[in-house]
Chains A and B, each alone.
Chain A
Amino acid sequence: MSDPNIPVNAIKELESQIADLKLKIEDMDKKNPSNKLSMVVFSGDMDKILAAFVIATGAVAMGMEAVMFFTFWGTPVLRDKKKKPGPKDLISNMFGMMLPKGTGKVKLSRMNMGGIGTVMMKSLMKKKNVASLEEMLAMAEELGVRIFVCEMSMDLMGFKREEMIDYKDITFCGVAKFLEEAKESRIQLFI
């Protein structure tokens, strides 16, 4: 450091440049997306939710983190069919009755044919060993897939937290919580 041939000013300048670079690298590290998958599950269709769970569990198998944000038609699917929500107003009751209560009640987005198509698809899935939505949900929980539920959708349709499924890593939240995850995720999907 005390080499007389190097002027003190030059060393000072180098030091400040290095400090600047360090800050820049730290900043870039923060912006670098992490090995994470963030997914919006908007659909309440059986086939689309199945695809969402296949991708989420696959992501964990690939060593990624996975977050699923259930919103709008996706929210009623996370209701527990065994739980009773208690008294509600008329419109909430109607929504509650008309929307699928739990993963067992969802229908195909195409070829439902008044329910026949969904029944056929389920029996075909069983025959071909394709995991059911219930099994995929259990697998997702076991693998540590995080589930976020849109508070606004629940409020809109009159769902209460007490009637939602028991799931290890479930968070009732808004869009900001999801965006915080999505912002730093390498993959973002809308299903």
Chain B
Amino acid sequence: MSDEIQVKKTMDLKGMPCPMPVVKVSKGIKEVEVGDVIEAITTDPGSLSDFPAWARTSGNEIIKTDQDGKTIKFYIRRNT
């Protein structure tokens, strides 16, 4: 796992419903450098469509999505 993706920061967004996961991640990603990857963990099923939409609009990139039961892990590279 760890040799695949270098994660600069992990955000625990479990239990948060809309709009908080997207609001928090948009703030959190600004705290790492451009090119860095953050890991965001959510349990909101809506985030499966919201995070890609947010990434496309804000110009960031979701490089990997892992789903384990209700828990969803997004690996997002800051591009802007």
Give the distance to chain A from B4, nearest Cβ to Cβ, in Å: 27
Determine if B19 and A54 form an interchain contact, defined as CB atoms under 8 angstroms apart. Answer: yes
Check A58/B15 contact, CB under 8 A, given A63-B57, A63-B58: no
> Which applies to chain B's interface (DSSP): helix, strand, loop or mixed?
helix
Alpha-carbon gap, A128 to B23, bound state (A): 17
- Shortest B9–chain A CB gap in Å is 17
The answer to whether B23 touches A61 (Cβ under 8 A) is yes
Question: Which A residues are CB-close (under 8 A) to B32?
Answer: none
- Inter-subunit contact A57/B16 (CB<8 Å): no
Decide: A62 and B16 in contact? CB cutoff 8 A.
Answer: no
Q: How many contacting A-B pairs (Cβ < 8 A)?
A: 37
Chain B residue total in the interface (Cβ 8 A): 16
Interface size on A, residues (CB 8 A): 13
Residues of A within 8 A of B59 (CB): 63
CB distance B23 to A57 under 8 Å? Answer: yes
Q: A61-B54, A62-B57, A63-B57 given as contacts; is B23 within 8 A of A139 (CB)?
A: yes
CB distance from A56 to the nearest CB of B (A): 9
Question: Are A62 and B17 in contact, with the CB atoms below 8 A?
Answer: no
CA distance A178 to B25 in the complex (A): 30
A120 proximal to B (CB < 8 A) = no
A58 and B22: CB pair below 8 A? yes
In the complex, what residue of chain A is closest to B18 when comparing beta carbons? A54
Given contacts A63-B26, A139-B23, is CB(A129)–CB(B15) below 8 Å? yes
* Cβ of A130 under 8 Å from chain B: yes
The 3 A-B pairs with the shortest beta carbon distances in the complex, nearest first, are A61-B26, A58-B19, A62-B57
